[in-house]
Structure 1
Amino acid sequence: MNKTNKQNYQPLASKHEKQRPVLKNCIRAFLVGGTICFIGQCISFFYMYFFDFTEETVGDPTTATLIFITMILTGLGVYDKIAQFAGAGTAVPVTGFGNAVISAAIDHKSEGFVQGVGGNMFKLAGSVILFGVFSAFVVALIKTILINLGVIG
């Protein structure tokens, strides 16, 4: 494609591009993401009230419960409809992670349970876990250096 064709293409493509309602999408993302966080907070309160967890210990079961709920909703096809409506609002890290893992498993189930479901389900999980562990190591290393230098207590 020569330079004049590229210059002519851009205005033509812009003219036919669908305009996105940015403000409406932001409001939807905010409301749905906030609702997911609210549900997570309700689950935390439930665990603290009925199972005697503290604020320090309630995070893990709450996270696991949110991931479990997301995986069930993804398997039933409900989470995809919510994501279609909310866009980035469903990318709250825990629920977005659960959705991505189960979606990969569902997409590759025809290849079998081991190579299809198992092999593809953990492609995303592996990189997320690796990044999380590496990031935690770097932050702990920086904190240790700052403590040893006397910058922080």
Structure 2
Amino acid sequence: MTKENYSRLVELRSRNSRMGIDCLKAFLIGGAICTIGQGILELFLMTELSENDAKTLTSVTLIFIGVLLTALHLYERIAKHGGAGTLVPITGFANAMSSPAIEFKAEGLITGLAAKMFVIAGPVLVYGTTAAVIYGFIYWLTTV
């Protein structure tokens, strides 16, 4: 099969993107995740916790929920409909870290779980950190 034939076959078999609906679903599901996070924060603020402790505990709770939903194979169902809306919040990062770890745990702690955990999240960490340093440097240059 030539490249042209393969490209034609892929084009015929691929369904058209429903970008408007997909963007709306991503917005609604991502917004729902953030609204749940805000609700959790408000619950923690009603206790005797300081604001910083409540925010930290909210992040930890959302990470736990993301990992739990990933382990129960529910996060992928949500992500199927929510797309990028499930990737942007902290639960998406928790999913990106835990999903490969869960998938490759049978290969052992070192070569499976530990090595594969950063397959998806590694580039995000590298480029996110690099971008933060560059933006911080530009901010520093413009405020000095």
TM over 0.5: yes
Among 73, 79, 88, which residue is 1:83 paired with?
79
The separation in 1 between residues aligned to 2:61 and 2:116, in whole angstroms, is: 23
Q: Return the alpha-carbon distance in structure 2 between the equivalents of residues 60 and 28 of structure 1.
A: 28
Residue 26, structure 1, aligned to residue 20, structure 2: no
* Alpha-carbon displacement from aligned partner over 1:2-21 (angstroms, at most 9, x marks no partner): 8xx94x87666544432333
Q: Which residue does 1:151 correspond to in 2? A: none
Correspondence for 2:107: 111
Identical columns (%):
38
Q: Distance in 1 between matches of 2:18 and 2:128?
A: 34
Encode CA deviations 1:106-129: one digit per residue, 9 max, x unaligned: 121121122200111134444333
Provide the C-alpha distance between the structure 1 equivalents of 2:10 and 2:111, rounded to a whole number of angstroms.
41
> Is 2:58 aligned against 1:62?
yes
1:128 is aligned to: 124
Cα distance change of structure 1 residues 53 and 135 upon mapping to structure 2, 3 Å threshold: farther
Q: Would you say 1:139 and 2:135 are equivalent positions? A: yes
For structure 2, the residue ranges without an aligned partner over 5 or more in a row are none
Check conservation: 2:33, 2:89, Cα contact below 8 A: no
What amino acid is the match of 2:105?
Answer: K
Q: Indicate the SS of the match to 2:46.
A: helix
Q: Say if 1:125 and 1:87 are closer, same or farther in 2 by CA, change over 3 A.
A: closer
Verify: 1:38 aligned to 2:26, yes or no.
no
Structure 1 residue runs without a partner (length 5+): 149-153
The equivalent residue for 1:50 is 47
Flag the structure with larger Rg.
Answer: 1
Amino acid at match of 1:127: P
CA shift for structure 1 position 72 = 0.5
Other-structure match for 1:17 = 14
- Report SS of the residue matched to 1:50: coil
- Give TM-score scaled by structure 2 length: 0.80
Q: Distance in 2 between matches of 1:17 and 1:58?
A: 46
Scaled by the length of structure 1, what TM-score is found? 0.76
Shift of 1:69: 0.6
